[in-house]
Structure 1
Amino acid sequence: MPAAPEYITGKDLETGNPIKIEIVKGVIQSVNPLTQAQDDLPFIAPGLVDLQVNGYGGVDFNTFPITTLDFEKTVRLLAAEGVTSFFPTVITNSPQATGDLLSNISQACQSNSLIDQAVGGIHLEGPFISKDDGARGAHDLAHVCAPDWELFLKWQEKAEGKIKIITLSPEWDSAPAFITKCVENDVIVSIGHTSATPAQIDTAVKAGARMSTHLGNAAHLMLPRHPNYIWEQLAQDQLWASAIADGFHLPDSFLKVLFRAKPDNSVLVSDCTQFAGLMAGKHKTHIGGEVVLTREGRLHLASQPELLAGSAQSLLWCVNHVISKKLLPPADTWKKASTMPLSLLSGKPETSFHIGQPANLVQFVQEVNLITVRKTYIAGQSISYKEPLR
């Protein structure tokens, strides 16, 4: 007996027209106009896709072990922010610790269907990055090393093939051959935490690098006027660029330039840490340091307030920032955090409400410049943090 269809209604964010989406077994079957008028109909749009999540709500994807319950808690908290798919991000660490974390994430996906549906893949950020201060960011210098394909294969085995994005610097001699291997194995190479020359960046792009990680951040405080690696990546038409649009990491002028230089191949990411979703105040890190989350949402080192300690905001916050600053219209902004990341991942244009795709959807209301999520669906299932963890 065929499964009974379910229906979700709302105003299409792109057109404003009321629509009814038919869902069978968690997959979109059809999208039709809604002929019967309904009062107070929310907007409906594809779920947000965050390509860079270090943690959320006190859960850190770089601290071993991560329990399945904590992982599911993170999925549900992110769903409350409209995120239906995200990439747990593992940063530079020792080979053993990196393997343990990757295995932990993979096992959590295998043991819990909701986690498996929400995790689009793993983003490995490092350790094949620049050793330079500034460009290296907060990554541990002791574990930074040259791209090593055999080492990566060991990690990919631990991850059960779930590493889909790797951030590296093309300044290493072994980078071009490594990038070629990644492309052959369907792993997206993203340039980041780099001191690479324009020639090295160009070589990386020709080898198949497709993305820039949080462009404009993890950079030296002082750069040559030109050429430099930020201009070079902006000028590379083949490179997608991700940006942290939380209002603290980048000035709005940079975001405006980025969106104009790459209107069809730029995306928003949160790069959020475990402190996202927590109350304002002082918090301790796992390495013993203290950070401060201000009421305005800025996360900084307690000892050096002028230095950021990472991002403490969701992708929805970034969407609302871009909208409130009128850098892009609401529908275009939402695309940069939903269908455009999917286009980057698949290598082909992705549209809203794609027939045959999982019903990852968000219903929300918009008042002035603020989007507020009402309900989030992952594979057709309504997700709420208030539901008991399973």
Structure 2
Amino acid sequence: MADSTERIVARDVVSGGIVALTIKEDRIVSLERETAGSREISEDRLPWIAPGLCDIQVNGYGGHDFTASDVSPEDVWAVAEKMFTTGVTRFLPTITTHSREVMINAVRTIAQAVNEYPPLAQAIPGIHLEGPYISPEDGPRGAHPREHVRPPDWEEFCQLQEAATGLIRLITLSPEYPEAVPFIERAVANGVIVAIGHTAATARQLEDAVLAGAQLSTHLGNGCHLMLPRHPNYLWYQLAEDRLWASFIFDGHHLPQDFMIVALRAKGITRSILVSDVTALAGMPAGIYRTPLGEVEMLPEGRLVVAGQRQLLAGAAQPVITGIVNAIRLTGCTVADAFRMASVNPRALLGLPPAVFQVGACPEFILFELNHDLVNDQLFPRSERTKKAASWVESGMVRIEDQPVLTIQRVYFQGERCPR
């Protein structure tokens, strides 16, 4: 940031009060807090301030794919720049199921980018390996290529971790394999967070995975069979298991409203994490695109589907800030709780220090406007909510139909105003 002083007065999402802070160069040099209602000026006219978002599942953005065979450090930086504009200041590049050679190249390239671009050393606290040790069954496997699905292999994982220079922080696997439990134990002993996902595991296999150290359910409610037994099934187990955190894709397309509400009630806000799971086609204009999985179509409302129809999803295309709006609108959670699930909680899972407003700290926060009708539950009647999915506009806005509900004014990271 240039040698200048900037003063910001805003509503603090976390505390609910008013925060007045002064930034000089790249540090917060003064900070005052006030209780809500203490100002003569209407608080509704103040912007909101929130810690930078942390997205633990980002596959790519804007035409850049982390698992592409020709991925480059420039691709990694391009995605990071897009993340900053959506309010995300920390994220895990996510490598999905592929051949050993492609995955080794991907993690090596990300590690190279972290070394070449100094801001990435903080923005990328690790890599998320989603696969290849997942269920081979249709449904749980999702869009992961069947030919590259395989059982957990510790030797292969060590090769991947070596190529990543130790950056692999999170791995999603299915515990349905005999090799799963010893693999989980060794991963946890080596400081890697293990998540359950894309699984057809039994309750006993899930229990064994938790006892071995698994901590998270990846995008719970997705990567499942189309039809499940009424009970028991792997969804009920993971929802009921208090030792598991759970991540959710609240993009308005991957999960219906009733599941979103029940899932948050079961897991609680403190064990829930919002993720985007965005693919390389996020941020791209509406139209048909040819991908390694076939032709897909980006619909005008931001829904990514298999071309030729509108129901079968082909991935996610909404940044996590869209999930924040949907959490507020569709589940009734507070603004503070919605941001907690997209910032405070993922940081806690990863063992990162919380982003706090304090004198001497390097600013890492979002300044944004929020439509107060959204907060006051007046924008749309509850009976219509299931028809109103929020969507991201690349100019920095989340909208419902044509009405803006959240607009990012500025994003601060490492003391800099990120480009908008």
TM normalised by structure 2 equals 0.84
- Please list the CA deviations of residues 135-162 of structure 1 after superposition, one character each: whole Å capped at 9, or x if unmatched: 1111111111111111111100101111
The answer to whether the aligner puts 1:174 opposite 2:209 as a matched pair is no
Secondary structure, in 3 states, of the residue corresponding to 1:325?
helix
- Aligned partners of 1:211 and 1:28: how far apart in 2? 34
Which is further off, 5-14 or 124-133? 5-14
The answer to whether the aligner puts 1:19 opposite 2:19 as a matched pair is yes
Residue ranges of structure 1 left out of the alignment (5+ in a row): 386-390
Superposed counterparts of 1:258-337, under 5 Å? 258-263=263-268, 264-285=270-291, 287=292, 289-337=294-342
- Aligned partners of 2:272 and 2:200: how far apart in 1? 21
Partner of residue 388, structure 1: none
- Aligned partners of 1:96 and 1:139: how far apart in 2? 16
**Looking at both structures, which has the greater relative contact order when contacts are Cα pairs under 8 Å and sequence separation is at least 6?**
1
CA positional deviation for 1:22: 5.9
Q: 1:227 to 1:356 in 2, by over 3 A?
A: farther
Q: 1:258 to 1:26 in 2, by over 3 A?
A: farther
- Aligned partners of 1:233 and 1:288: how far apart in 2? 29
Partner of residue 45, structure 1: 50
- Counterpart residue type for residue 159 of structure 2: K
- Aligned partners of 2:6 and 2:39: how far apart in 1? 17
CA positional deviation for 1:69: 3.3
Partner of residue 347, structure 2: 342
Partner of residue 364, structure 1: 368
Q: 1:166 to 1:24 in 2, by over 3 A?
A: farther
Partner of residue 161, structure 1: 166
1:214 and 1:244 in contact (8 A); partners too: yes
- Aligned partners of 1:357 and 1:182: how far apart in 2? 33
- Aligned partners of 1:172 and 1:356: how far apart in 2? 49
Partner of residue 115, structure 1: 120
- Aligned partners of 1:128 and 1:356: how far apart in 2? 44
- Please list the CA deviations of residues 261-293 of structure 1 after superposition, one character each: whole Å capped at 9, or x if unmatched: 1111011100001111111121221x2721111
Residue ranges of structure 2 left out of the alignment (5+ in a row): 375-404
Q: Aligned residues: percent identity? A: 44
Partner of residue 390, structure 2: none
Q: 1:280 to 1:199 in 2, by over 3 A?
A: same
TM normalised by structure 1 equals 0.91
Q: 1:116 to 1:65 in 2, by over 3 A?
A: farther
- Aligned partners of 1:46 and 1:118: how far apart in 2? 13
- Aligned partners of 2:212 and 2:218: how far apart in 1? 17
- Please list the CA deviations of residues 338-359 of structure 1 after superposition, one character each: whole Å capped at 9, or x if unmatched: 11111111299x5753788753
Partner of residue 376, structure 1: 411
Partner of residue 56, structure 1: 61
The answer to whether the aligner puts 1:75 opposite 2:80 as a matched pair is yes
When the two chains are superposed, the root-mean-square deviation of aligned CA atoms in Å is 2.5
- Aligned partners of 1:262 and 1:145: how far apart in 2? 30
1:65 and 1:104 in contact (8 A); partners too: no
2:246 and 2:272 in contact (8 A); partners too: yes
1:214 and 1:242 in contact (8 A); partners too: yes
2:57 and 2:278 in contact (8 A); partners too: yes
Superposed counterparts of 1:125-144, under 5 Å? 125-144=130-149
2:197 and 2:220 in contact (8 A); partners too: yes
Q: 1:71 to 1:340 in 2, by over 3 A?
A: same
Secondary structure, in 3 states, of the residue corresponding to 2:342?
coil
CA positional deviation for 1:79: 1.4
- Aligned partners of 2:136 and 2:226: how far apart in 1? 15
- Aligned partners of 1:185 and 1:30: how far apart in 2? 41
Q: 1:112 to 1:22 in 2, by over 3 A?
A: same
1:216 and 1:250 in contact (8 A); partners too: yes
